[in-house]
């Protein structure tokens, strides 16, 4: 089972990915948790660019794809082949959103990624009103970085929500307590994933 958690900044993705992994492990599942950009060389370059100034649109897109190719081959595909549950905090849908906001065609980005990257069994899109998301980002005690500007996040949210009609996608409202969000995520899981027979 391959589960991806997506959404704009400030929706609580990292918190919920961790909670979901803990829940499934408590049910006896073997879980591999990861995130993108990764801690590898390409991912580190992307993370640093958020603070020091973004790469050119073309270079940024290519760097995301290089990072993802390495992630798929070294971590995601082997874990899935071993029958483990993989939970990812961000994946190529973020590239569709954030690079789509820079002018690239999200559909073309998706095609390019799905040529080598497995499609998740379940895509959880955590959604929150833009003002509330920005207030949460500001509450972290740091200024917004290059990926977190209002006009950028507004377009990203539109792109994420455009996926809502797809069969493997669930939109999760995060304008509630973390416990309530976790309950909504667990309710979206297939019964078999929870270790129930």
Which residues are documented as binding site? 7-14
85: helix, strand or coil:
strand
Asked if 142 and 106 touch (Cβ cutoff 8 Å), the reply is no
Q: Pick out the residues of the known binding site for ATP.
A: 7-14
Give me the helices (H) in 53-147, please: 57-71, 77-81, 92-100, 106-114, 130-138
Asked if 9 and 134 touch (Cβ cutoff 8 Å), the reply is no
Dig out the tokens for 67 from the structure: 């990072």
Asked if 175 and 129 touch (Cβ cutoff 8 Å), the reply is yes
Q: How many CA atoms lie within 13 A of 141 on its CB side?
A: 0
């Amino acid at each position: 089972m391959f589960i991806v958690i997506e959404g704009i900044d400030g929706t609580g993705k990292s918190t919920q990915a961790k909670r979901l992994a803990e829940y499934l492990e408590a049910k006896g599942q073997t879980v591999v948790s990861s995130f993108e950009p990764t801690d590898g060389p390409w991912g580190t370059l992307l993370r640093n660019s958020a603070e020091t100034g973004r790469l050119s649109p073309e270079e940024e897109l290519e760097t995301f794809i290089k990072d993802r190719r390495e992630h798929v081959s070294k971590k995601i595909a082997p874990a899935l082949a071993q029958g483990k549950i993989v939970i990812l905090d961000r994946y190529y849908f973020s590239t569709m959103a954030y690079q789509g906001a820079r002018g690239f065609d999200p559909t073309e980005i998706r095609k390019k990624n799905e040529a080598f990257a497995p499609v998740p069994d379940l895509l959880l899109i955590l959604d929150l009103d833009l003002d509330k998301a920005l207030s949460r980002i500001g509450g972290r005690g740091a200024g917004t970085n290059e990926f977190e500007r209002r006009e950028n996040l507004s377009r990203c949210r539109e792109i994420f929500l455009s996926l809502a009609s797809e069969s493997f996608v669930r939109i999760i409202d995060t304008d509630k307590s973390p416990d309530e969000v976790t309950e909504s995520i667990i309710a979206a899981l297939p019964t078999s994933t929870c270790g129930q027979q």
